[in-house]
Amino acid sequence: MQIITTKKELQAIVTACKTSGKTIGLVPTMGALHAGHASLVERAVNENNVCFVSVFVNPTQFNNKEDLAKYPRDIKRDAELLQRIGADFVFAPTPEEMYTAEEMDSTFAFDFAGLDTMMEGKMRPGHFNGVVQVVSRLFYLVQPDKAYFGEKDFQQLAIIHHMVERSSMAGTFGNLQIVNCPIVREESGLALSSRNERLSDAEKKTALAISKTLFESLKWAKEAGATVAQVQQRVIDTINAVEGLEVEYYEIVDQTTLLPATGFEHAIGCVTVYCGPVRLIDNIKY
């Protein structure tokens, strides 16, 4: 496995792969890799001739500088995991390699068609501008045939699909396929996240109430006469009743449009909860 740190070196390798007719799989990450990331990489390795993994903590998608500073980073550990799984190339650039000073200081403009106006977009202004900025740049650089994303960041995934659909109309990314990969959970039910590393053992136990409540809500949705609003409020009240947890939002939305759901068919519930100082996200499909 080879670690690449410059765009020039990356593009030379990509060109060689394309020239020899190899298919390319890409897994974009911000590092601090766990079993959830590993499942994406394993799939990319199995479904493509060559697997690229980016490890880059993207500063333009953080609207909280303290959160950016605290984000866990361990490229040595990440590289060891990726080598065991079978990744071929790791792209680990610096922010200065990825962006000009002007790009770092300005907001990346993109038409989200309203997908950024609720949930994470509402709570983290500019977050998705940074996500689209870095993912589109990675797509330009790596030119993947398939790119793999976890469903835990469901709103982000919907926006990436939207970006690729818009771009594909202009022939920008060719026939790029976005591959949705299911949430990977601990045996306890806790959704795997790099942010879990910031939780104490006690906080991890407390955080279990998040997934437990979401799974319970599947039963609540099937109760006679249950409405979306009732289930939504019940989830919020149940999680907030746990000491140490505070719901930032819980929205039940249509899986495609992300608009508020009127029923449970094709709906997904997306939640963000503070467990102590750590912000955790999860979702459940109804």
What positions carry a catalytic annotation?
Answer: 37
- Contact assessment for residue 56 and residue 30, using Cβ atoms and an 8 Å cutoff: yes
Q: DSSP string of 82-93? A: HHHHT--EEE--
Question: CA distances (Å), 35 to each of 39, 78, 87, 189, 275, in order?
Answer: 6, 11, 14, 14, 21
With beta carbons less than 8 A apart as the criterion, state whether 216 and 231 touch. no
For residues 63 and 197, give the distance between their C-alpha atoms in angstroms, rounded to a whole number.
21
* Amino acid identity, position 164: V
Which of 82, 11, 90 lies closest to 52, judged by CA?
90
Closest by CA to 193, choosing from 64, 110, 281, 271, is: 281
